[in-house]
Structure 1
Amino acid sequence: MPELPEVEALTRFLDDRTSGRTLVAADVAAIAALKTHDPPVPDLVGGTVRRVDRHGKWVDLAVAVDDGRPGAGEHTVLHLVFHLARGGWVRRHDSAPTTPVRPRMGGSSRGAALALRLRFDDGSGIDLTEAGTRKRLAVHVVRDPLDVEQVRTLGVDPLSPEFTSSALAELMGARNQQVKGLLRDQHAIAGIGNAYSDEILHVAGVSPFRLTRSFSDDDVAALHDAVVTTLHDAVAAAVGRPATQLKDAKRAQMRVHGRTGDACPACGDVVREVSFADSSLQYCASCQTDGQVLADRRTSKFLR
């Protein structure tokens, strides 16, 4: 799943290539991906992209459209807001296909299936696609991004000035929970997912299962530094890359996430895994748990 660094890089990539461009077509291919009906998608056509923003893991294309009043010269701004979920991605075309897009109600294809195609006045375009059988890509057309509940209820952005050590301490003290769960909670901190929470906790030398109220002030400050440093480094590594390279760049820079069985880059111990129903986490026992191997549901009977 794309997380904050990749979405930030993607947002800048799209802003650079679509701002100032006029939409000449907006075609929905996957009906299930469209979560709103008012305003309708065709209302975007003829509008000009003003900017592309990010809200956590959400991408927001602000499109200035004619308000329909003859001679008024006024425009209103509509927002095409989308979340790529686990299998979604963006493909940009210098010369976008002009063949008609046939809407579909569903489908179980594992390959990347077209969900939405946008074409611009210079002939370029972008496709929103989604791979896999579990379709979770979410596309909204709204008058205000805060009309999307998941955007309105986002927590603090960890790259913003508001994300201070004190702010993190307040979040950690609000409820005694596992620290990995807090880092992944979009209502608390926006944009961090499974991969970067693993990376942050490895940098901080913290067990993913450590309870938040057990952290001292110094521990919180160290975790805050790990969050900011890890994300800034990841953004720096991602920005400037074409959208097609962002996923591979993310995988290449991971220290522990997705590295089960590899050597920890910090100490040389083996990277271990804890699996869940539909996800897993990776960690280094030497760096994060004082050598204790965390129980995994697949092997926990051997660790009791």
Structure 2
Amino acid sequence: MPELPEVEALALDLGGRLTDRAVAKVHVVAFSALKTFDPPVHALEGSFVDDVTRHGKFLDIGVGGLHLVLHLARAGWVRWRDEVPALPPKPSNKSPLAIRVVLDDDTGLDVTEAGTRKSLAMYVVRDPADVPGIASLGPDPLADGFTVETLAGILEDAGRAQVKGVLRHQGTIAGIGNAYSDEVLHAARMSPFKPASSLAAEEVQTLHTAIRDVIGDAVARSRGLAASELKGEKKSHLAVHGRTGEACPVCGDTVREVSFADSSLQYCPTCQTGGKPLADRRMSRLLK
């Protein structure tokens, strides 16, 4: 799933390609992806791209005073095309291609979504705040206003909720997903199941530093990369996420996993849980 660093890099890459270029056509291939009807999609056509920005994990392409907003969800991605096929794509909710944006020189971009579970979302709005997911976003973890005190208030308000879930909740902190929450907690040497409001002042400071360092470093590494390089860059620098059974790069212990209905988390027992493996209920059921 693209998270803040990848969407930040996508916005930078696409901004250099799209800004001051005219949108000739927008093809909505997967109609289930389109979440708005006013303004209509064709209102974008014939207008110039003003800029490309992000809000949390939302990509925002400004076009002639309107906004084409994309949420790439779990398996979405954006691919640049130096040449767009002459024939328009046929509408289909089964094709990996969800949206095609064609520019005035027949270059463009394809927005795709792998797999059968379709969650990618596209909005055409007059103001980004008209997108419910953007309107409800929490603070950006790289913004100047995201202070230690801000994080302390978020954790206190979360009560006994697990800190992993607090980091992932977009209405609490914008842009951190499953992968980078694992990485942040590993850097902070903190259990993902630790109750949010139980953190002492020094632990809040440690967690804040880990958030700023892990997310900031990932943004710095991704900056300037083309969209085609971002997935590989992200995977190559993950310490624990997606590395179940491998050695922790800090202490050498085996990275372990806890599985849920539709996701999983990874952690290092030595670094994060005092050497004790966390209960994995899915695995426990399989062993009965």
TM-score over 0.5 for the pair: yes
Question: For residues 23 and 302 of structure 1, do their structure 2 counterparts lie closer, same or farther at Cα, with a shift above 3 Å needed?
Answer: closer
**2:148 maps to 1:171:** no
- Paired position in structure 2 for 1:162: 145
Cα distance in 1 for partners of 2:19, 2:208 equals 34
Cα distance in 2 for partners of 1:152, 1:265 equals 38
**Equivalent runs, 1:71-150 vs 2, <5 Å:** 77-104=65-92, 106-107=93-94, 113-150=96-133
Question: For residues 135 and 229 of structure 1, do their structure 2 counterparts lie closer, same or farther at Cα, with a shift above 3 Å needed?
Answer: same
Residue type of the alignment partner of 1:242: A
State the SS of the aligned residue for 1:133: coil
Which of the residues 283, 291, 295 maps onto 2:279? Answer: 295
- Paired position in structure 1 for 2:251: 267
Residue type of the alignment partner of 1:81: V
State the TM-score, normalizing by the size of structure 2: 0.97
CA contact (8 A) 2:158 2:166 kept: no
Cα distance in 2 for partners of 1:190, 1:94 equals 32
Q: Percent identity?
A: 55
Cα distance in 2 for partners of 1:250, 1:85 equals 16
Which of the residues 203, 206, 209 maps onto 2:193? Answer: 209
Residue type of the alignment partner of 2:269: A
- Paired position in structure 2 for 1:37: 37
**2:225 maps to 1:234:** no
User: CA shift at 1:302, angstroms?
Assistant: 10
Cα distance in 2 for partners of 1:88, 1:175 equals 30
Cα distance in 2 for partners of 1:250, 1:44 equals 32
Residue type of the alignment partner of 2:209: D
Cα distance in 1 for partners of 2:285, 2:90 equals 51
Question: For residues 290 and 301 of structure 1, do their structure 2 counterparts lie closer, same or farther at Cα, with a shift above 3 Å needed?
Answer: farther
- Paired position in structure 1 for 2:58: 58
- Paired position in structure 1 for 2:168: 184
- Encode CA deviations 1:182-217: one digit per residue, 9 max, x unaligned: 000100100000000000000000000001111111
State the SS of the aligned residue for 2:261: coil
Aligned length: 286
- Paired position in structure 1 for 2:205: 221
- Encode CA deviations 1:214-251: one digit per residue, 9 max, x unaligned: 11111101100000000011111111111011111111
Cα distance in 1 for partners of 2:286, 2:275 equals 16
**2:246 maps to 1:254:** no
Aligned Cα RMSD in Å? 1.3
- Encode CA deviations 1:109-154: one digit per residue, 9 max, x unaligned: 6xxx111111112332001111100000000000111001111000
User: CA shift at 1:301, angstroms?
Assistant: 6.6
Cα distance in 2 for partners of 1:12, 1:240 equals 7
User: CA shift at 1:298, angstroms?
Assistant: 3.0
State the TM-score, normalizing by the size of structure 1: 0.92
Q: Which blocks of at least 5 consecutive residues in structure 2 are unaligned?
A: none
- Encode CA deviations 1:8-35: one digit per residue, 9 max, x unaligned: 0001000111000001111111111101
Larger radius of gyration: 1
Cα distance in 1 for partners of 2:173, 2:231 equals 22
Runs of 4+ in 1 over 2 A off after TM superposition: 298-303
Cα distance in 2 for partners of 1:272, 1:16 equals 40
